[in-house]
């Protein structure tokens, strides 16, 4: 997966996770709150992977004189 794809999927998972948490809190569904939190954390991890990929690429480009 490209860094951009990782970041987009991560942001989407974070957003869906937050929505699930909100709905779970309003409806009193603790399972949905937990599921939403897990999805939010998964999204944060995906986004971080994308950011790390960008950092590695930028560092490699810098070392190789591409930028």
Q: What is the pLDDT of residues 42-66, one digit of tens each?
A: 999 999 999 999 999 888 888 888 7
pLDDT for the residue numbered 51: 94
Dist CA 57 CA 55 (whole Å): 5
Domain residues for 57? 3-63
Dist CA 16 CA 20 (whole Å): 6
pLDDT for the residue numbered 40: 98
pTM given for the model: 0.82
For residue 45, give the nearest of 11, 21, 15, 19 by alpha carbon.
11
Q: What is the pLDDT of residues 19-38, one digit of tens each?
A: 999 999 999 999 999 999 99
pLDDT for the residue numbered 67: 62
In the chain, how many domains are there?
A: 1
């Amino acid at each position: 997966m490209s860094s951009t794809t990782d970041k987009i999927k991560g942001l989407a998972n974070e957003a869906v996770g937050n929505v699930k948490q909100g709905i779970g809190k309003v409806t009193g569904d603790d399972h949905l709150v937990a599921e939403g939190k897990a999805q939010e954390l998964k999204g944060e991890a995906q986004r971080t992977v994308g950011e790390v990929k960008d950092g590695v690429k930028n560092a490699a480009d810098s070392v190789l004189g591409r930028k």
